Amino acid sequence: MQQDLQGRVALVTGAARGIGLHIAERLARAGCQVVLGDIDAQGAARAAEAIGPAARALAMDVRDRAQVRACVDAVLDAQGGIDILVNNAGVLGQGPFEQTDGAAWDELVAVNLTGIFNCVQAVAPSMIDRARGNIINLASVSAARGGGSVGNTWYGTTKAGVVAMTQGLARELGPRGVRVNAISPAVVDTDMMRPYLTGALRDAITSRIPLRRLTLRSDVGEVAAWLASDASEFVTGQTIAVDGGLLCT
Ligand SMILES: NC(=O)c1ccc[n+]([C@@H]2O[C@H](COP(=O)([O-])OP(=O)(O)OC[C@H]3O[C@@H](n4cnc5c(N)ncnc54)[C@H](O)[C@@H]3O)[C@@H](O)[C@H]2O)c1
C-alpha cells in the first residue's frame, strides 16, 4: 500500500535495528524525513546512512528525561516540528518470575514505560501547538494475557501499560489534534527474540498462529505507515494486533 508522507518529520526511537529500523525505512520510502533515535549511537548512524539523505541519527537514551528533551528540542529547531513519533525502543525480559530480579524489572519499566512517558512529554506539547500529530507505540500481543505463552509476566505487564497509555493519551490528545495508536506484533525474528527462537519453539509458536508464520518486520512497517498517514485519520486509541490471528486462538 502506498502512503504519501511527503514533507512530514518522524522521530522513531530504537531505530538502529529490528522493527524500529524497518519502520524508519518504510516511513522514509513514503516521503518522510526520519530521525533515528537510539541508545546505540553508532548503530543509528549506520542505519541512517543506509536509508539515505532523508534520515539522520540521534544518540538518545529514552530512559534519560533530560537527554530526550534536548534531543527533541534539537529536532524541533532543525526541522520545525515532529509530525510522527514512533515509540519503538523496548527491552525484553524472559523467564519465570523468580528469575527476574529487581534490576531487570527496573530496566523493563524504565525503557518500556518511562521511555514512552519521556518521549511523549517532550514531543506532544509541540504537536498540540500545531494541532496535529501522530503517536504510534509498540506494544505486544503479550499485553493481552499478562505475558501469555510467548512473552512473560513482567514484560507483558509493561506492554499492557503501553496499551493503557495509548487509550488514555488518545482520549486526552484527540481534542487537540493528536492521534495515538499502538501496534502489537506477535513474534518477530529480531535480535530481541532470536536467542529464544530455537527450532522447536519457533515451530511451536508458528503452529499456534492461524496464518502459520511469524510476524515479519514488513508486516509491522506497513501498519505503522498506514497509522502514520491520513488514510487512518479517524483511527485513534486502537491497538492493532499484527499477529496472524494469534490472539484469536
Ligand atoms: N521482536 C518481537 O518479537 C517483538 C514482539 C512484540 C513487540 N516487540 C516490540 O517492538 C519493539 C522493537 O523490538 P525489536 O524486536 O526490534 O527489538 P531489538 O532489540 O531488535 O531493537 C530494539 C532497539 O531499541 C534500542 N534501545 C534499547 N534500549 C534503548 C534505550 N534505553 N533508549 C533508546 N533505544 C534503546 C536498541 O539499541 C535497539 O536498536 C520493542 O518495543 C519490542 O518490545 C517486539
Residue 233 is predicted with a pLDDT of 98
Active-site residue, from 21, 111, 155, 187: 155
Residue 24's Cβ-count burial label (10 Å; 0-12, 13-18, 19+) is buried
Which residue is closest in CA terms to ligand 1's atom 1? Answer: 188
Residue pair 185/243 in contact (Cβ under 8 Å)? The answer is: yes
Higher pLDDT, 182 or 2: 182
Residue pair 154/147 in contact (Cβ under 8 Å)? The answer is: yes
Please check the confidence at residue 31 and state whether its pLDDT lies above 60.
Answer: yes
Higher pLDDT, 100 or 177: 177
User: What mean pLDDT do residues 35-56 have?
Assistant: 98
Binned at pLDDT 50, 70 and 90, residue 151 comes out as low
d(CA 65, CA 73): 12
Q: Taking the domains of the chain in order of start, what are their residue ranges?
A: 9-248
Q: Is the Cβ atom of 38 under 6 angstroms away from ligand 1?
A: yes
Binned at pLDDT 50, 70 and 90, residue 96 comes out as confident
- Give the CATH number of domain 9-248; options: 3.40.109.10, 1.10.645.10, 3.40.50.720, 3.60.15.10: 3.40.50.720
Q: Is the Cβ atom of 202 under 6 angstroms away from ligand 1?
A: no
User: What mean pLDDT do residues 30-58 have?
Assistant: 98
State the Cα angle at 134 between 129 and 137, rounded to 5°: 130
Query: Which of 23, 190, 205, 214 should be mutated for ligand 1, with most atoms under 8 A from CB?
Result: 190
Q: How many other β-carbons are positioned within 10 Å of the β-carbon of residue 70?
A: 13
- Mean pLDDT score of the chain, rounded to an integer? 95
Q: Measured over all CA atoms, what is the biggest interatomic distance in the chain, rounded to whole angstroms?
A: 51
Residue 149 is predicted with a pLDDT of 61
Binned at pLDDT 50, 70 and 90, residue 98 comes out as confident
Residue pLDDT, tens place only, 51-64: 999 999 999 999 99
Please check the confidence at residue 3 and state whether its pLDDT lies above 80.
Answer: no
Please check the confidence at residue 196 and state whether its pLDDT lies above 90.
Answer: no
Which residue is closest in CA terms to ligand 1's atom 18? Answer: 192
Residue pLDDT, tens place only, 100-125: 889 999 999 999 999 999 999 999 99
Q: Is the Cβ atom of 63 under 6 angstroms away from ligand 1?
A: yes
Please check the confidence at residue 11 and state whether its pLDDT lies above 90.
Answer: yes
